């Protein structure tokens, strides 16, 4: 379904693509892959050593230069206090990544507890877990996160935890489903027939096989978590100014959309490119593991 890689081989010869096209496709795919890898690499570099890339201090105020449009000196323009938006985007990478990764970790942890209970805990536990997931699903999108922020107040930590909990039901459903599939598979039955103890089967056979497909989905999920965190930041919930963080920068730029579009445009497109690249990489991983599983 992506352009960036060859489609699965088609069984029906009448509709199967001509061989020439099949050979040409991986080229386009690897091009997209290189681009995606570059973007992710640059963002990681910015998160680890921002001073290497940022030309200026992200917090340095220079009121005479406020609202300067993008130029050679200020690539992404300046904000209302004359701070360099480009430097702020670079320095914002670390905090935004920490929030995205932290939220994903929290979501996964909760999902593992729920999923393991449901997938391995027997019929009653599974019934309860299914209901819990269903109820959590009734709060669409960032709504669950908004409730948690309303209850626990507005801070970077709440933002991370709230996004993590909002992503939890999706992961929990997948963990549970995956465990149920693996548990019923022939190789688990074989391990049982060989007389392996249940704990060994769980740790050595069931868990690795159930979690392998999840690693791919986590790649996709990190992008989602970053977008949700940025959306909360855009609404003014989370990291507070003047800290350089993508969501907080979006929130600051919101008030000046008509006079200084660059304040929102550049942090926003950074998020778009980064999450898009994560999606491309995740899809590639997905196809690679799918192909591996078929062999």
- Work out which of 227, 239, 249, 252 binds other proteins, going by CB under 8 A: 227
Residue 283, interface with other proteins (CB under 8 A)?
yes
Residue 135, interface with other proteins (CB under 8 A)?
yes
Residue 221, interface with other proteins (CB under 8 A)?
yes
- Work out which of 36, 89, 249, 271 binds other proteins, going by CB under 8 A: 271
Query: Residue 126 has which token pair?
Result: 């599974």
Nearer to other proteins, 59 or 113 (CB): 113
Residue 28, interface with other proteins (CB under 8 A)?
yes
- Work out which of 109, 134, 200, 288 binds other proteins, going by CB under 8 A: 134
Residue 236, interface with other proteins (CB under 8 A)?
yes
Residue 27, interface with other proteins (CB under 8 A)?
no
User: What does the H/E/C string look like for the chain?
Assistant: CCCCCCCCCCCCCCCCCCHHHHHHHHHHHHHHHHHHHHHHHHHHHHHHCHHHHCCCCCCCCCHHHCCCCCCCCCCCCECCCCCEHHHHHHHHHHHHHHHHHHHHHHHHHHHHHHHHHHHHCCHHHHHHHHHHHHHHHCCCCCHHHHHHHHHHCCCHHHHHHHHHHHHHHHHHHHHHHHHHHHHCCHHHHHHHHCCCCHHHHHHHHHHHHHHHHHHHHHHHHHHHHHHHHHHHHHCCCCCCCCCCCHHHHHHHHHCCCCCCCHHHHHHHHHHHHHHHHHHHHHHHHHHHHHHHHHC
What interhelical angle do 143-152 and 207-234 show, nearest 10? 70
Residue 13, interface with other proteins (CB under 8 A)?
no
- Work out which of 42, 113, 139, 289 binds other proteins, going by CB under 8 A: 139
Residue 204, interface with other proteins (CB under 8 A)?
no
Residue 69, interface with other proteins (CB under 8 A)?
no
Nearer to other proteins, 202 or 260 (CB): 260
- Work out which of 90, 112, 117, 237 binds other proteins, going by CB under 8 A: 237
Residue 187, interface with other proteins (CB under 8 A)?
no
Interface contacts to other proteins, rule CB under 8 A: 1-4, 7, 10, 12, 15, 17-18, 21, 28, 131, 134-135, 137-143, 146-154, 167, 169-171, 173-174, 217, 220-221, 223-224, 227, 230-231, 234-237, 250, 253-254, 257-258, 261, 264-265, 268-269, 271-272, 275-276, 279-280, 283, 286
């Amino acid at each position: 379904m992506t352009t960036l890689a060859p489609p699965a081989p088609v069984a029906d010869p009448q509709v199967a693509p001509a061989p020439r096209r099949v050979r040409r496709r991986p080229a386009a795919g690897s091009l997209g892959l290189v681009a995606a890898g570059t973007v992710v690499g640059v963002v990681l570099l910015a998160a680890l050593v921002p001073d290497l890339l940022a030309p200026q201090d992200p917090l340095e105020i220079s009121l005479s230069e406020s609202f300067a449009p993008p130029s050679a000196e200020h690539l992404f323009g300046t904000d209302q206090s004359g701070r360099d938006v480009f430097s702020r985007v670079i320095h914002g990478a670390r905090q935004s990544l920490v929030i995205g990764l932290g939220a994903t970790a929290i979501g996964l942890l909760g999902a593992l507890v729920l999923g393991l209970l449901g997938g391995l805990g027997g019929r009653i536990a599974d019934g309860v877990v299914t209901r819990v997931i269903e109820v959590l699903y009734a709060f669409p999108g960032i709504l669950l996160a908004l409730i948690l922020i309303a209850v626990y107040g507005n801070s970077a930590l709440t933002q991370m935890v709230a996004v993590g909990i909002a992503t939890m039901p999706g992961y929990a459903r997948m963990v549970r489903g995956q465990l149920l599939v693996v548990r019923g598979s022939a190789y688990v039955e074989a391990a049982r027939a060989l007389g392996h103890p249940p704990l060994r089967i769980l740790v050595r056979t069931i868990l690795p096989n159930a979690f392998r497909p999840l690693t791919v989905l986590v790649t996709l999920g990190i992008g989602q978590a970053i977008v949700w965190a940025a959306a909360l930041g855009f609404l003014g919930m989370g990291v507070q100014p003047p800290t350089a963080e993508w969501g907080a920068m979006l929130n600051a730029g919101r008030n000046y959309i008509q006079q200084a579009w660059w304040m929102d445009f550049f942090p926003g497109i950074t998020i778009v490119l980064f999450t898009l690249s994560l999606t491309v990489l995740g899809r590639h991983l997905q196809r690679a593991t799918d192909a591996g599983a078929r062999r």
